[in-house]
């Protein structure tokens, strides 16, 4: 029996590398071939063959309110009726910038871009310009988009596919990056002792999502803040995943740390392509045309995308109870895991790691039983539950997931482990 999805996937591979426009979608981490999607509503998605799934990928994070929330659909439709793009300033861009600055106090000024990758790339360039230094510190298993110098020891699809570092990345770019183990304050202290006067920035996922969910150990983020400040380097929180996800003000609100620069994406676009970088006014004032650091975008601040993002942020601000609901629902889902499995969760981000754990960094994440994870993934998929098709990606719960959705999911998870 050939399904429509399988036929489409075979066809896609003739015109698109690997058949997909972003690698993890191709299911290489779990085997099999991906369902092609036709529709989403609330917590549900439907594929080309009419199968229904409860969706725990949520477009890899953006869909904090689930699929097609009415407030966002209406905002996009209103924007659509007046024009799709001007390449000129519009009032809503100012409103979105103000909404971001208002929600995240460390962000005094912000520039909108089109993706998380653009945000981290630009933030790093800016940090290098501001400090007059070249080196960047990142952490193994963290993913900051496909920025050349940040692909060193990267998480997400790079980890899933086991791609060796830096194919196509000039050695000089890779050499400008120091990759250290996550949650190791000592490693960071050592790096600063050695290279302190050359380090422009430390970039970190304050809660990692891209080696699966790995929370910061107590004191780790504080150490990064202290060391960067004392050596004159900048602290960049990559909150492309965690921004407006783990709390309205992001992970920095949750852990009480004020970074110098922050990158955003995913949730702030409400399901459309938006990224942003922002932070201290003195640093952001170096961005062109205010200053000498060039960064531009034909479709940056796109009216449809900005309308969607603004509707998302306004809805979240008006409904803070969404975050407590997400906490309760996701905790309920996490509780379905049996002993012997490690469950990491922060707010509505979670990962079932197939190892006794604990999972605190890339080395411990990598110890997972990936074939067993793949079995689990397909068991769930066959029964109508779409989890991330990789051990090294976080699952997401949205505000559209009902208690009944979670109960049904938890029951099927338990069945997998009891062999029922």
Distances in whole angstroms, Cα of residue 395 to Cα of each of 20, 37, 247, 308, 317: 20, 18, 16, 23, 23
Kindly tell me which of 242 and 342 has the beta carbon lying closer to ligand PLP.
242
Q: Rule CB under 6 A: is residue 23 a binding residue for ligand PLP?
A: no
Kindly tell me which of 128 and 138 has the beta carbon lying closer to ligand PLP.
138
Q: Rule CB under 6 A: is residue 262 a binding residue for ligand PLP?
A: no
Residues 6 or more apart whose Cβ sits within 8 Å of residue 51? 35, 384
Q: Rule CB under 6 A: is residue 117 a binding residue for ligand PLP?
A: yes
Catalytic residue, chosen from 47, 153, 266, 405, is: 266
**Rounded distance, CA 317 to CA 249, Å?**
10
Kindly tell me which of 47 and 205 has the beta carbon lying closer to ligand PLP.
205
Q: How far is the CB of 318 from ligand PLP (least distance, A)?
A: 26
Q: Which residues pair with 350 in a beta bridge?
A: 345, 395
Is position 143 annotated as part of the catalytic site?
yes
Q: How far is the CB of 115 from ligand PLP (least distance, A)?
A: 4
CB closest to ligand PLP, residue no: 116
Nearest Cα to 225, choosing from 198, 264, 194, 251? Answer: 251
Q: Which residues pair with 44 in a beta bridge?
A: 41, 54
Q: Rule CB under 6 A: is residue 398 a binding residue for ligand PLP?
A: no
The tokens for 382 are 């066959």
Binding range to ligand PLP, per CB under 6 A, among 39-47, 160-168, 203-211, 338-346: 203-211
Q: How far is the CB of 340 from ligand PLP (least distance, A)?
A: 28
Q: Rule CB under 6 A: is residue 145 a binding residue for ligand PLP?
A: yes
265, 270, 347, 388: which one binds ligand PLP (CB under 6 A): 265
Question: Three-class SS of residue 70?
Answer: helix
Catalytic residue, chosen from 47, 55, 238, 361, is: 238
Q: How far is the CB of 81 from ligand PLP (least distance, A)?
A: 27
**Rounded distance, CA 173 to CA 331, Å?**
41
Tell me which residues in 223-242 interact with ligand PLP (CB under 6 A).
Answer: 238, 240-241
**Rounded distance, CA 117 to CA 193, Å?**
29
Q: How far is the CB of 146 from ligand PLP (least distance, A)?
A: 7
**Rounded distance, CA 138 to CA 136, Å?**
6
205, 260, 361, 393: which one binds ligand PLP (CB under 6 A): 205
Q: Rule CB under 6 A: is residue 123 a binding residue for ligand PLP?
A: no
Instruction: Write down the residue that tokens 């060039």 correspond to.
Output: 294
5, 210, 252, 364: which one binds ligand PLP (CB under 6 A): 210
Q: Rule CB under 6 A: is residue 209 a binding residue for ligand PLP?
A: yes
Is position 277 annotated as part of the catalytic site?
no
27, 139, 143, 376: which one binds ligand PLP (CB under 6 A): 143
Is position 238 annotated as part of the catalytic site?
yes
Nearest Cα to 113, choosing from 96, 131, 127, 136? Answer: 96
**Rounded distance, CA 35 to CA 26, Å?**
9
Mask for 266-305, x = binds ligand PLP (CB under 6 A): ---------x------------------------------
DSSP 385-420: EE--SSTTS-EE--TT--HHHHHHHHHHHHHHHHT-
Q: Rule CB under 6 A: is residue 141 a binding residue for ligand PLP?
A: no
Binding range to ligand PLP, per CB under 6 A, among 101-109, 143-151, 160-168, 229-237: 143-151
Residues 6 or more apart whose Cβ sits within 8 Å of residue 136? 124, 127, 128, 149, 150, 176, 177, 178, 199, 200, 201, 202, 203
Q: Rule CB under 6 A: is residue 116 a binding residue for ligand PLP?
A: yes
Cβ atoms 385, 409 nearer than 8 A: yes
Q: Rule CB under 6 A: is residue 47 a binding residue for ligand PLP?
A: no
**Rounded distance, CA 261 to CA 203, Å?**
9
**Rounded distance, CA 223 to CA 217, Å?**
11
Contacting residues toward ligand PLP, per CB under 6 A: 115-117, 120, 143-145, 205, 209-210, 238, 240-241, 265, 275
Supply the residues annotated as catalytic. Answer: 143, 238, 266
């Amino acid at each position: 029996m050939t399904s429509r999805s399988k036929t489409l996937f075979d066809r896609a591979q003739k015109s698109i590398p690997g058949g997909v426009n972003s690698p993890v979608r191709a299911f290489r981490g779990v085997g099999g071939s991906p369902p092609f999607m036709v529709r989403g509503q609330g917590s549900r998605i439907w594929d080309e063959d009419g199968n229904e799934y409860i969706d725990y990928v949520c477009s890899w994070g953006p869909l904090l309110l689930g699929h097609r929330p009415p407030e966002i659909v209406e905002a996009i439709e209103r924007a659509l009726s007046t024009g799709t793009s001007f390449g000129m300033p519009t009032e809503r861009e100012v409103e979105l910038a103000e909404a971001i600055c208002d929600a995240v106090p460390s962000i005094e000024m912000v520039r909108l871009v089109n993706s998380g990758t653009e945000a981290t790339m630009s933030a790093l360039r800016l940090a290098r310009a501001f400090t007059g230094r070249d080196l960047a510190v990142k952490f193994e298993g963290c993913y900051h988009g496909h920025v050349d110098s940040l692909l060193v020891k990267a998480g997400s699809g790079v980890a899933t596919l086991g791609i060796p570092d830096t194919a196509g990345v000039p050695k000089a770019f890779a050499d400008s990056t120091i990759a250290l183990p996550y949650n190791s304050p000592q490693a960071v202290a050592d790096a600063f002792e050695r290279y302190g006067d050359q380090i422009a920035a430390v970039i970190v996922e304050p809660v990692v999502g891209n080696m699966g969910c790995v929370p910061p150990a107590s004191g780790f983020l504080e150490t990064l803040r202290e060391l960067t400040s004392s050596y004159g380097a900048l602290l960049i929180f990559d909150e492309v995943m965690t921004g407006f996800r783990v709390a309205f003000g992001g992970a920095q609100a949750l852990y009480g740390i004020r970074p110098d620069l922050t990158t955003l994406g995913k949730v702030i676009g409400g399901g459309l392509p938006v990224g942003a970088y922002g932070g201290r006014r003195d640093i952001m004032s170096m961005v062109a045309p205010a200053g000498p650091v060039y960064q531009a975008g034909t479709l940056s601040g796109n009216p449809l995308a900005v309308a969607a993002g603004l509707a998302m942020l306004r809805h979240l601000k008006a409904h803070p109870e969404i975050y407590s609901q997400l906490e309760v629902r996701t905790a309920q889902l996490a509780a379905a895991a049996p002993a012997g499995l490690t469950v990491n969760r922060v707010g509505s981000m979670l990962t079932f790691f197939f190892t006794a754990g604990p999972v605190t960094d890339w080395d411990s994440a990598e110890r997972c039983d990936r074939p067993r994870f793949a079995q689990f993934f397909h068991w769930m998929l066959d029964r109508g539950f779409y989890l991330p098709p990789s051990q090294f990606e976080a699952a997401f719960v949205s505000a559209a997931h009902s208690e009944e959705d979670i109960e049904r999911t938890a029951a099927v998870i338990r069945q997998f482990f009891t062999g029922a």
